Chain A
Amino acid sequence: MRQLLKGNHAVVRGAIAAGCKAYFGYPITPASEIAESASMLFPESGGVFIPAESEIGSIQMLFGAASAGVRAMTASSGPGISLMQEGISYMAGAELPGLIVNIMRAGPGLGNLGVEQGDYFQAVKGGGHGNYRTPVFAPNSVQEMCDLTMHAFDVADRYRNPVVVMADGALGQMMEPVEIPQTAPEEPDKPWAIRGDAATRKNLITSIFLEHHVQEALITKLEDKYREMEEKEVKWEEFQTEDFDIIIIAYGICSRIAREAVEMARAEGMRIGLLRPISLFPFPSKRIRQLAGKAYSILVFELSSGKMVEDVRLAVNGITPVELLRRTGGMMPTSEEIVTVLKTMERECVGNKA
């Protein structure tokens, strides 16, 4: 049965459906509804909710619950996510699963509450210290706020690595119909966890490895995991990519605006396609490279000073021109503005094809 939910509420429904048992959080706009909803629903669903003293506390409580082998999560926005980077690094080093939801706002610093995607590098390149990555999933609808939250728990457990779901204030605040799944994949056994019983007494959760070769072995193991993710966990969506001259690459709320722009441009006879990365790490580089080979040019549309565009350029590796359309600070280009940019690009690039 479809119900109308805010994106932030859909995150909590998805988490509970996935068997998440513990939520630790600190309020921050525009993510607070996640904690509010969790405080109501987790205790009713056999779980626990703690209003933590800070985001540092939140992520460390998550570390503890994950060590004890239960599915656990936290959510915040940029300033809070920055405070969590210490804990995320420790979780990656100790190979602990867990979910961190980032409802991005504009930055740096306190910034403002506007819609922005400026936390891209922090999320996809491993935002804390040391050699690690976190898988990052970027929903673009309220349904996906639920579905990708559920998926994130599976990926986190499969690889024993923290996972980020990264959305923005628009996706967090908007309402759309959602179907809450009533079943979810079984949670794997966690023989490595510490449950306070004889079977797990010998286990040790740590991220300190003083011997250099042991530390290097851990990093190699992490790198192997990230390589495997690049093989198996890449997710993206395409729209109108059967024939195109220009392809737009956009994620999150931008992909929705871009989709409208594609519809408008197609109505005017332009051949435009859209690729939406759903996993930002691992990034759909291979597919972008394939499409780039057939495109006259590529337009990256993002709400940052130009971050995902670097990953696109790495993927394209110079074979096709890559343009960037971006706004920051909470400003949002309209679909009409995207079409205007596409027209200019078409004149410049496609005009040259003859």
Chain B
Amino acid sequence: MWEIKHSKPATFYDRFERKSGDTEITHYCPGCGHGVLHKLVAEAIDDFGIQDRAILVGCVGCSIFMYYYMDVGNISSSHGRAPAVATGVKRARPEAIVFCYQGDGDLAAIGGNEILHAANRGEPITVFFVNNGIYGMTGGQMAPTTPLGQKTTTSPRGRTAQVEGPPIRMCELLSTLDGPAYIERVALTDAKHHMRARKAVRKALKNQMEGRGFSFIEVLSACPSNWKVSPKDAIQWVEKNMVPIFPLQVFRDEDKHGATPLCLRHGTSPERKIPAGPKIQESAVRGAIAGGELGEVSMKLAGFGGQGVLFSGLALAEAALREGLQVSWIPSYGPEMRGGTANCHVRISKSPIASPLINRPSSLMVFNQPSLEKFADQVLPGGLLLANSSMVTDIPDLPDIQIVRVPAYEAARDLGNVKAANMIMLGAYLEITRAVAQEAILAAFTDNGMRPNLLKANVAALEAGRRIVSGTRLQNPQLRL
């Protein structure tokens, strides 16, 4: 039993406003496949009762004005980007039924990367890909899907494999990916193939409703105007010239429900959940800066990458924070990034810090010889140079600078923990300057979740460093900067 339906799907607007003067017809040329496919999609949306939930992401090409016909949520995207736009929509509104409608220039050329990755992520969206082997809207230029030998306005001698490469097959390409759930190619030729197309369109939308994953339907469709054949001959043109290149078949049909991104299975949460930061313990013990006994610290720490230089500086900065001080920490920048040193600048002050960058440090902690050579003459007169004498062996004569040598590697070896050299240096620095309290450093370690055995090792290293320089006092405690 059958009946002929003459009614318009409810998902179509009553009046098509695109073409002025006639509100009954679309802007498509006679014989074009877009109108048929629009109707198949609109009927499926009607039948599934998803009109309110449906969001169409249109493309650039002849179908750009599809929003004049489809009474659904409409988003017009830039050329080729519809799958990325649809990804954003679907992730934001998991309950929406999001579908892209793209031509072959849009999807297979400029949008090649976007479709590839949306498919590979298994975005649970639906993509309708209309392949007519040519750029329609811009007037018949060669597309990546144009058959070999076909003359177009940009392949006037006919497409050749040697010059333009052979046509690209998107279904086959996407079938190499694990992400997609459903891939099928159909053709709008005779009645039988229209019915196959109808079935594929419905399945592709149904898949999304049921959360089965990414669905991709390629539809071979005629473009009589740009092929320069009659609408009737165009159907035969599809059968003769396109179907042999683009075989009609199901390439993939799997339920990828389990692969659906978690956020889409559970939805996004509308309320604001601000993540709790780390617990910050205020230090009960105050070091020399907070206690007003020492001016502010402006310090460079430098050494090889891997020596824990940045971590030493960070420990100092975290401790200062816990003593209620102003602080800044910045890793190597600009030309300082070169030349075999990793370094950071630490400023600690009771008043707001103007610049986090330091040209003339009041103290310099160096872990290797190149760092000494690079930064030693920047130290302010009256400043402090703390050198890891295990590696910094050649210290020039620096008048006005207090030089303290700490054999950090030997000391670390004695502790049975060669990685602790940076904490030994820091311990020595604390002993001499008492800039911040050791308790504040330990509070920072605990707050940041340091494991007890590591904490213990670091305490041992800090104290070993203190012992090495025991009795050494800062010669110029009121140094500014």
Query: Interface on A for B, CB 8 Å cutoff?
Result: 1-4, 13, 16-17, 19, 21-22, 24, 41, 43-48, 50, 52-54, 56-57, 60-70, 72, 86-87, 90, 94, 113-115, 169-170, 173-177, 180, 182, 184, 194-198, 200-208, 253, 256-257, 259-260, 263, 330-332, 334-336
Contact = CB atoms under 8 A, between A and B. Distances in A.
B113 A66 contact: no
Contacts of B327: 4, 176-177
Given A68-B96, A206-B74, A197 B53 contact: yes
B271 interface: yes
A66 B75 CA distance: 11
B73 interface: yes
Contacts of B272: 16-17, 19, 45-46, 184
A309 B95 CA distance: 50
Contacts of A198: 52
Interface of B: 51-55, 57, 64, 67, 71-78, 81, 84-93, 95-98, 113-114, 116-117, 121, 261-263, 268-275, 277-278, 280, 314, 317-318, 321, 326-331, 333-335, 337, 353-357, 359-360
Contacts of B89: 64-65, 67-68, 194, 196
B337 A113 contact: yes
A121 B314 CA distance: 35
A16 B359 contact: no
Contact of A170 (B117, B277, B333): B333
A336 B359 contact: yes
B354 A57 contact: no
A332 B88 contact: no
A19 to B, nearest CB: 5
Given A1-B280, A201-B72, A330-B335, A45 B330 contact: no
12 contacts: A2-B321, A3-B278, A4-B318, A45-B273, A50-B121, A60-B78, A64-B75, A64-B89, A70-B92, A174-B329, A194-B73, A206-B76
Chain A interface SS verdict (over half): mixed
B346 to A, nearest CB: 9
Given A64-B89, A65-B89, A68-B92, A21 B268 contact: yes
B270 A46 contact: yes
B85 A61 contact: yes
A46 B278 CA distance: 19
A115 B330 CA distance: 12
A263 B355 CA distance: 11
B88 A68 contact: yes
The winner among A61, A65, A256, A332 for most chain B CB atoms within 10 A is A61
B91 A50 contact: yes
Contact of B76 (A65, A182, A207, A335): A207
Contact of B52 (A24, A50, A174, A201): A201
B333 A175 contact: no
A87 B55 contact: no
B75 A259 contact: no
Contacts of B53: 196-197
Contact of B357 (A72, A170, A177, A206): A170
A32 to B, nearest CB: 14
Nearest to A337: B359
A1 B88 CA distance: 34
A197 B88 CA distance: 17
Contact of A204 (B74, B86, B355): B74
B117 A57 contact: yes
A174 B346 CA distance: 10
Contacts of B78: 60, 63, 86-87, 90
Nearest to B327: A177
A54 B328 CA distance: 33
Nearest to A20: B272
A45 B274 contact: yes
A174 B355 CA distance: 11
A65 B280 CA distance: 35
A62 B91 CA distance: 11
B333 A332 contact: yes
B214 to A, nearest CB: 14
A201 B67 contact: no
Contact of A65 (B51, B64, B92): B92
Contacts of A1: 277, 280
A333 B93 CA distance: 49
Contacts of B71: 201-202
A53 B354 contact: no
Contacts of A47: 268-269
